[in-house]
Chain A
Amino acid sequence: MSDPTPQAEPKSEGSTPRPAAVADAKHAGNGHAQADEHHGHSEHPFLAHHFDTPQQQFEAGKLGIWLFLLTEVLFFAGLFCAYTVYRAIRPEVFVYAHYFLDTRLGAVNTCVLLLSSLTAAWAVRNAQLRQHKHLMVNIVITIACACTFMVVKYFEYSHKVHDGLLWGPNFAPKEQVWELKTFKDKHPEAAEYAEKLAHAAKHAEKAPAGAAAAPAAHGAAAAPDAHGATDEPSEPLPKPTLEQVEPLVAAGLVGEKAESPIGVSRPRNAHVFFSIYFFMTGLHGLHVLIGIGIWIWLLFKAKRGVFGPNYFGPIDYAALYWHLVDLIWIYLFPLLYLIH
């Protein structure tokens, strides 16, 4: 409603943002007789000329922010859709990848965001009650929480970059999943068994290569040797128990979903998880960064003491945006970090 069609009034529309400046141009011909009474707004300096009352202004803004939040939900919906479909068709990739994520850091970030949501809601209350000092304190705490969130994210990201846990063709994990503490803690037997399997596979790889290097010299004698080498390491491996092998199958390390049919490897297309991970958390992190910018701007505005019972809209809208960012994280945390 604050955006009338530009074609209709080509002359006056150029300068709409500043009510005082535009008042003269407006008042000339387009039926804004009321503008004269209202454009001064001596009792409400914050009231834009095209609103009759502070409440009307507030309601208009509130409708606007809710419409924006609606588009935000749909914006993220695409990514949640990618997640859902990929998890439905390749669950083992998610089981595999979740061992690489630090649940503690994710939980800390969840708590930090929840706390900042409280201070944001509290800031709205402060603005409504004209508690300038408390308002500024709450905004500062909100910004501090947001920065904490981003610092934790920075450590998580740099850790992943370091370990080669990246999207698409950049995916080159430095560590095997069964060597991770998260895996060992959860499935100690399976980790041990995977270790043995990997060892045996390495052994088997070396032996035929060695045998193939000198086939002419040894001729027939080499063949039984090679056979012996491939069979030999698998011999000391006892038949695995369910506890040993089930976590490996669930994570797609062995079996038909694995990258290689022999030995232990990782599930095919495991990098897609990290594409989804970086895209979802990255877009969310971008929202946090934008939120920090908005709160800093509002902190300066609050310093001037402009907020009160008739003018708390900006704080309210920023808080709503901030809660939505929190809301998205409430879903991202269990979906990415708490895969069972």
Chain B
Amino acid sequence: MADHSHGATAGDGHAGGHGDHGFAHTTPLSLLIGILAVLLVLTVLTVSVTSFDLGAQGNLVVAMVIATVKAGLVVTYFMHLRWDRLFHLILFLTSVLFLILFLSMSITDRSEYDRDIESFRASQAQAK
């Protein structure tokens, strides 16, 4: 029971009845435990990598790549998206897309108010 569903049904999403256990798709236990092991290894990796200097943004990039791999594993296997409806994956990716849009637009805007801040600081200094 643990192995019949993995792989074989990977492509067909929720086809419906699986006979002995209704419409449910059970994730193999060995797979779940394996994913946890990988996640823990990645956690150790992301902590230990901080002791190396990888340049100005290097460490941040590495940390975010590792976090994204971990998130991908959680979403794919723990959250079952690999065997779920494609629509749910699209929903989730849409939220991620809008998150990225939100962050990237904000980041391009980050220095827009520098001039106002500078002039405010200058007027404050003058007032003193």
Contacts and interface: CB of A to CB of B under 8 A. Distances in A.
Interface in B25-80: 26-27, 29, 32-33, 35-36, 39-40, 43, 46-47, 50, 53-54, 59-60, 63-64, 66-67, 70-71, 74-75, 77-80
B9 interface: no
Nearest to B35: A118
B96 interface: yes
A118 B33 contact: yes
Contacts of B7: none
Contact of B111 (A63, A89, A110): A89
Interface in A283-340: 308-310, 312, 316, 319-320, 323-324, 326-327, 330-331, 333-335, 338, 340
Interface string B85-128: 10110011011101100110011011100000000000000000
A310 B22 CA distance: 6
Interface residues of B, number: 55
A117 interface: yes
B78 A121 contact: yes
Nearest to B99: A77
B6 to A, nearest CB: 12
A129 B110 CA distance: 52
Given A118-B78, A327-B74, A54 B23 contact: yes
Nearest to B39: A114
B8 interface: no
A120 interface: yes
Contact of A330 (B27, B53, B74, B94): B74
Interface stretch (A29-37, A64-72, A151-159, A203-211): A64-72
Contacts of A73: 92, 95-96, 99
Interface string A99-123: 0000100010011001101101110
B21 interface: yes
Interface residues of A, number: 53
B85 to A, nearest CB: 8
Contact of A70 (B50, B60, B80, B91): B91
Nearest to B55: A340
A156 B103 CA distance: 28
B43 A111 contact: yes
A66 B92 contact: yes
A114 B46 CA distance: 14
A84 B96 CA distance: 15
Contacts of B47: 103, 107, 338
Contacts of B98: 74, 77
B10 interface: no
A331 B67 contact: yes
Contact of B106 (A54, A59, A84): A84
Contacts of B110: 85, 88-89
Contact of A320 (B16, B79, B99): B79
Given A55-B16, A338-B63, A66 B88 contact: yes
A32 to B, nearest CB: 24
Contact of A309 (B24, B46, B92, B94): B24
A111 B40 contact: yes
Interface of B: 1, 14, 16, 20-24, 26-27, 29, 32-33, 35-36, 39-40, 43, 46-47, 50, 53-54, 59-60, 63-64, 66-67, 70-71, 74-75, 77-80, 84-85, 87-88, 91-92, 94-96, 98-99, 102-103, 106-107, 109-111
24 contacts: A54-B23, A63-B88, A67-B91, A70-B95, A73-B92, A73-B99, A74-B98, A81-B102, A89-B111, A103-B47, A111-B43, A117-B39, A125-B29, A128-B26, A323-B75, A327-B71, A327-B75, A330-B67, A330-B74, A334-B46, A335-B63, A338-B47, A340-B54, A340-B60
